[in-house]
Chains A and B, each alone.
Chain A
Amino acid sequence: MPINPRVRIQTEDFDLSTEVAALRAGDGGVGAVCSFVGTVRDHNAGQAGGAAEAVSAMELEHYPGMTERAIEAMIDEAFQRFDLRGARVIHRVGLLQPQDQIVLVVVSSAHRGESFKGCEFLMDYLKTQAPFWKKESTPDGARWVDARVADDQALARWGLQAANSA
């Protein structure tokens, strides 16, 4: 395994400062770093028109092998589209609690515009194309989370067809 792999799928938590420092290390051309951290909410949006429900835990499943491969391809695509100097993605799997960190995307570039765009692009891509599935524990029992049309629309802004939620 490389010392600084671009993609990590892990059960353990991660530390934003450590990852940003590792991404910048030794690269004097970096003038901007943009990061995104996704966390577990303590409630969901409710079932089709219903009221929000409390979420007491979340289980994350993935497709080992394909997940890493899919995210590596997304990072390659981000490097094609934007003038980036570095990128890394960490996604947790297994059992998580409300307020836990789930996902980290960190991107570096010479100027801020490319980092902002690269970070958002990677998250939009990941939401609809990386093979992860969330199962929430609610007072009514455990339930697989539905894909959101809004996530497909977010990817469409970049000129890419998601076709995930339909």
Chain B
Amino acid sequence: MNPSLGTAGGQAASITVRYFASLREALGASEAITLAAGTTLGDLRDHLIARGGRHAEVLARGRALRCALNQVMADEATPVPAGAEVAFFPPVTGG
């Protein structure tokens, strides 16, 4: 299954989504997704929430969550380029 995210607006792009810590336990370590050019990190989160089930639960709005684009912290307004590595994870607790 390779769900696409409203590809009408532009060229489809495939990306990798990675999960860490409690999100990894719930959703697995990574998945490949196809989405439309111009899709933002926030759009992608909403798309994953719309799948329902565990995705809806752990990515739910109101839950503290951070995201990274190509291994750099990013906010949800950031567009996701083709070939990107996106990651969603809980607030960090190192040190």
B92→A164 contact, CB < 8 A? yes
**Assuming the A-B contacts A133-B90, A144-B90, are A63 and B95 also in contact, with contact meaning beta carbons closer than 8 angstroms in the complex?**
no
- The number of chain A residues with a CB under 8 A from chain B is 30
Q: Which residues of A contact B66 (CB under 8 A)?
A: 164
A and B contact pairs by CB, cutoff 8 A, 8 listed: A63-B71, A65-B71, A127-B92, A127-B95, A130-B94, A130-B95, A134-B93, A165-B64
A147→B91 contact, CB < 8 A? yes
**Assuming the A-B contacts A126-B95, A144-B21, are A69 and B90 also in contact, with contact meaning beta carbons closer than 8 angstroms in the complex?**
no
Majority-rule SS of A interface residues: mixed
A 152-166 to B, binary, CB cutoff 8 A, 1 in contact else 0: 000000000000111
Q: What residue in chain B is nearest A135 (Cβ atoms)?
A: B21
Question: What's the least CB distance linking B90 to chain A, in Å?
Answer: 7
- The number of chain B residues with a CB under 8 A from chain A is 19
A147→B64 contact, CB < 8 A? yes
What is the bound-complex CA distance between A17 and B66, given in angstroms?
36
**Assuming the A-B contacts A103-B95, A165-B64, are A63 and B90 also in contact, with contact meaning beta carbons closer than 8 angstroms in the complex?**
no
Q: What residue in chain A is nearest B89 (Cβ atoms)?
A: A131
B 61-76 to A, binary, CB cutoff 8 A, 1 in contact else 0: 0001010100111000
What is the bound-complex CA distance between A66 and B72, given in angstroms?
7
> Lowest 10 CB-CB distances: which A-B pairs, in order?
A132-B94, A147-B91, A66-B71, A133-B21, A127-B95, A145-B93, A164-B91, A134-B93, A144-B22, A126-B95
A147→B92 contact, CB < 8 A? yes
A133→B92 contact, CB < 8 A? yes
What is the bound-complex CA distance between A129 and B72, given in angstroms?
10
Q: Which residues of A contact B64 (CB under 8 A)?
A: 147, 165-166
Q: Which residues of B contact A166 (CB under 8 A)?
A: 64
A131→B20 contact, CB < 8 A? yes
A 98-138 to B, binary, CB cutoff 8 A, 1 in contact else 0: 00001100000000000000000001001111111111000
Q: Which of B68, B73, B87, B94 contacts A134 (CB 8 A)?
A: B94
A133→B89 contact, CB < 8 A? yes
B92→A69 contact, CB < 8 A? no
